Structure 1
Amino acid sequence: MRRRHAEFRRPLAPIAGVAMLAAGALALTGCAATAASGDGADGGAKIVATTTQVGDFTRELVGDGAEVTQLLSAGQSAHGFDPSAAQLLALTEADALVVNGAGLESWLDDAVQASGFDGELIDASSGIELFGTDDHEAHADEGAEEEAHADEAEEHGEEEEHADDEHAEGNPHIWTDPELAEHMVENIAHGLAAVPGIDSATVEANESAYLDKLTALDDWIEENVATVPVEQRLLVTNHDAFTYFVAAYDLTFVGSVIPGFDDNAEPSAAEIDELVVKIRETGVKAVFSEASISPEAAETIATESGVKVYSGEDALYGDSLGAAGTDGETYLGSQEHNARLILESWGVEPSALPAVLQG
């Protein structure tokens, strides 16, 4: 099993709630009847989670012990999200707010201030070093330097701090690496332990069981990818959302249809032409669309390049998990789906899933 990152350290204290909120919260009169997205037990903890990924992690941890309201829907991107009045009311009443962090939720500060939220803020990205938005080849070297820095700081009893502005400059798609997903789950579990009404013993037991599944998933992907020669591990996606997956399993990221990690951007004609050339020169065999993005541009590029396009039910789950009943309904299912299709594009039939992931 790989362990490329420095040993993960949980925060020494629960992440503090948002302080000094705006004095005048947004008026939400009349929204109470439509605010809740679940029927949690009266008196139980109310948790709001922002993205589909952290929503899934949170539900895995709390089980039926808390009401979890997820702001983003399946297939919805966090880039440019605008919460509704009902969602702001849910945030007003929340005991805790679980966020992806890493600069992904650019709209979060305004939502927190408008709602008057004063509960526990749990940042799933805490302690995770971010890659830059480009230069994939430099990631391995950057990671080594960061590990050395972290080890040195630990030896001197220093706690690393990560400024919000630094996180905002990095690629926020940390969940695409299952090992980093483990760290996210640990952060969430640790933060939930400080929330009144949460059964910490249940969270701890669920955390242990879920981490076992994430480790098994990571090992399964690594073992199957290892059957492919490094020079053949080529990937082209809709947008730059798989940086951490690429680094985790030693893939070569040839390029993306949208040149960046914001899926709201549009590629120029010159950028499309450049990607077509790269695909032809490198021998890429497929272009992957993503479930939360229109496949039109990816299909055009694949046609011009003469390669297969994976779209529709065969699209990857990047910024968002999928709807109920799809392969991407859960984080584990989405990662298995993505890995299977990428391996298939390289001509590999994946091995059977570990027993802990079956059923």
Structure 2
Amino acid sequence: MSKRTSAFRRLPVTLAGGAVLTVSALALAGCSTPGAAGASGDGPDIVATTTQVGDFTRELVGDSAAVTQLLSPGQSAHSFDPSAAQLLALSQADALVVNGGGLESWLDDAVQASGFDGVLIDASTGIELHGTHDHDHGAEGHDDAEAHDDAAEHDDAEGHDDHAHDETEATDAADDHAAHDDHDHGAGNPHIWTDPELAEQMARNIAEGLAEVPGVDAAAIAKNEAEYLPKLDALDEWISENVETVPVADRLLVTNHDAFTYFVEAYDVTFVGSIIPSFDDNAEPSAAEIDALVDRIGSTGVAAVFSEASISPKAAETIAAEAGVTVYSGPDALYGDSLGVEGSDGATYLGSQLHNARLILESWGVTPTALPAALQG
């Protein structure tokens, strides 16, 4: 169990349902079979939306159920439009695992079009969302004293405090999932997985929801959860111990878009700014915003600009060149909205976060320590 404390709030969850998959969608789907991982002919069919929740779900079900992931590696959830074959998979699913927090803005329409009536599992349940403007993006960057209001509770010389976890809320959330009541996309930043401790909460939520799916092997879920959660905890502690070697004033970060809010909060990092001034990667920066970011990079002493694997690196490369700093792009881009393709550093959640942390630490002049045993192999 991770020892950091976090504030949680319940996110009510409901999806519109009851509509049947349209004849045209069925015709387009034809006889295609949606790709699945961990398939078992006798187990339930589970659909996961994003690459991150898809990875968590596969870790938890192992080979006891079929998992169909809607988004492909490198694909952003912000502008996703499910295909007819994916709607067909959703119509036949026993459970749907979503990131939640408003990330999948297309979700209600997809559920209504498919007629999905299975168990909804919202991985964001109980996690407090922060807005993109919770950080001060002014000329001086955000103020260190305000950069992380919970810093004293979150990271100190003696380590992390214990998670506050409300079992009653978790039980109630499962009822909400089944009832599909009062779905609220909210207005907060949905990139909650960038804090490994929140990823741990997401995995717990998914495991709890999966245990309620008819036909699921609950014992296998519990076993896999007990094996996976310590890895997330080890990841959090490894990142924290390495980040703590860097003076707070030197923990500066510039990224493609505002997808790392929770990483910034978790490790007391100063978020100087993003190229796209939004947590939606479809937004476009203005010339004035680009100029302002270049000025902030110069005034704060930022050493690097990070592109993201699922976003074109051109703007990041241009801004880094104008500011005279290093750009991390191509294989050195961060995994933000999406995990990477099979065989890449970011093919799994754990791999993506280790990749991101190593590069950010490198930009601060830190050679990371060896990985703990839980993260090796």
Normalised to the residue count of structure 1, the TM-score between the two structures is 0.90
Structure 2 distance, partners of 1:114, 1:285, is 48
Which residue identity is paired with 2:110?
Answer: A
Give CA deviations for 1:57-111 in whole Å, capped at 9, x if unaligned: 0000000111100000000000011000000000010000000000000000000
Counterpart position of 2:149? 141
Report the 3-state secondary structure (helix = DSSP H, G, I; strand = E; otherwise coil) of the residue aligned with 1:34.
coil
Which residue identity is paired with 1:98?
Answer: V
Which residue identity is paired with 2:262?
Answer: Y
Deviation for aligned residue 1:10: 9.5
Which residue identity is paired with 2:53?
Answer: V
Deviation for aligned residue 1:294: 0.2
Q: Which moved more, 1:173-182 or 1:133-142?
A: 133-142
Kept in 2: contact 1:104–1:168 (CA 8 A): no
Report the 3-state secondary structure (helix = DSSP H, G, I; strand = E; otherwise coil) of the residue aligned with 1:327.
coil
Counterpart position of 2:357? 339
Kindly indicate whether residue 240 of structure 2 is the aligned counterpart of residue 206 of structure 1: no
Structure 1 distance, partners of 2:369, 2:182, is 42
Give CA deviations for 1:263-286 in whole Å, capped at 9, x if unaligned: 011111100000000000000000
Within 5 A, what are the aligned runs for 1:63-74? 63-74=62-73
Deviation for aligned residue 1:42: 2.6
Q: Compared with structure 1, are the counterparts of its residues 10 and 134 closer, same or farther at alpha carbon in structure 2 (3 Å cutoff)?
A: closer
Deviation for aligned residue 1:222: 0.1
Kindly indicate whether residue 26 of structure 2 is the aligned counterpart of residue 26 of structure 1: no
Counterpart position of 1:116? 115
Deviation for aligned residue 1:197: 1.7
* Structure 1 gap ranges (5+): none
Structure 1 distance, partners of 2:49, 2:101, is 13
Which residue identity is paired with 1:232?
Answer: D
Structure 2 distance, partners of 1:134, 1:271, is 15
Structure 2 distance, partners of 1:172, 1:41, is 31
Structure 1 distance, partners of 2:84, 2:167, is 44
Report the 3-state secondary structure (helix = DSSP H, G, I; strand = E; otherwise coil) of the residue aligned with 2:46.
strand
Deviation for aligned residue 1:21: 1.8
Kindly indicate whether residue 299 of structure 2 is the aligned counterpart of residue 300 of structure 1: no
Kindly indicate whether residue 292 of structure 2 is the aligned counterpart of residue 279 of structure 1: no
Number of positions where the alignment pairs a residue of Structure 1 with one of Structure 2: 346
Counterpart position of 1:215? 233
Which residue identity is paired with 1:327?
Answer: D
Which residue identity is paired with 2:29?
Answer: C
Counterpart position of 1:5? 6
Normalised to the residue count of structure 2, the TM-score between the two structures is 0.86
Kept in 1: contact 2:15–2:183 (CA 8 A): no
Kept in 1: contact 2:28–2:84 (CA 8 A): no
Kept in 1: contact 2:151–2:268 (CA 8 A): no
Kept in 1: contact 2:9–2:125 (CA 8 A): no
Counterpart position of 1:35? 33
Kept in 1: contact 2:46–2:66 (CA 8 A): yes
Structure 2 distance, partners of 1:99, 1:144, is 32
Kept in 2: contact 1:44–1:197 (CA 8 A): yes
Which residue identity is paired with 1:3?
Answer: R
Which residue identity is paired with 1:348?
Answer: V
Deviation for aligned residue 1:31: 2.3
| 4+ long deviations beyond 3 Å | 8-11, 15-20, 137-145, 158-165
Kept in 1: contact 2:75–2:338 (CA 8 A): yes
Counterpart position of 2:158? none
Counterpart position of 1:351? 369
Which residue identity is paired with 2:4?
Answer: R
Q: Compared with structure 1, are the counterparts of its residues 306 and 17 closer, same or farther at alpha carbon in structure 2 (3 Å cutoff)?
A: closer
Counterpart position of 2:156? none
Deviation for aligned residue 1:32: 4.7
Counterpart position of 2:260? 242
Q: Which moved more, 1:32-41 or 1:61-70?
A: 32-41
Deviation for aligned residue 1:135: 2.6
Structure with greater contact order relative to length (CA < 8 Å, sep ≥ 6): 2
Deviation for aligned residue 1:18: 4.7
Report the 3-state secondary structure (helix = DSSP H, G, I; strand = E; otherwise coil) of the residue aligned with 1:88.
helix
Which residue identity is paired with 2:18?
Answer: L
Structure 1 distance, partners of 2:152, 2:30, is 50
Structure 1 distance, partners of 2:268, 2:221, is 33
Report the 3-state secondary structure (helix = DSSP H, G, I; strand = E; otherwise coil) of the residue aligned with 2:374.
helix
Which residue identity is paired with 1:258?
Answer: I
Structure 2 distance, partners of 1:65, 1:211, is 18
Structure 2 distance, partners of 1:17, 1:275, is 39
Report the 3-state secondary structure (helix = DSSP H, G, I; strand = E; otherwise coil) of the residue aligned with 2:5.
coil
Counterpart position of 1:173? 191
Deviation for aligned residue 1:29: 3.2
Report the 3-state secondary structure (helix = DSSP H, G, I; strand = E; otherwise coil) of the residue aligned with 1:168.
coil
Structure 2 distance, partners of 1:347, 1:222, is 16
Counterpart position of 1:194? 212
Deviation for aligned residue 1:163: 6.6
Give CA deviations for 1:130-162 in whole Å, capped at 9, x if unaligned: 0012132556438999xxxx98x999xx97999
Within 5 A, what are the aligned runs for 1:71-90? 71-90=70-89
Q: RMSD value over aligned CA atoms? A: 2.7
Which residue identity is paired with 1:62?
Answer: V
Report the 3-state secondary structure (helix = DSSP H, G, I; strand = E; otherwise coil) of the residue aligned with 2:132.
coil
Q: Compared with structure 1, are the counterparts of its residues 232 and 163 closer, same or farther at alpha carbon in structure 2 (3 Å cutoff)?
A: farther
Kindly indicate whether residue 327 of structure 2 is the aligned counterpart of residue 309 of structure 1: yes
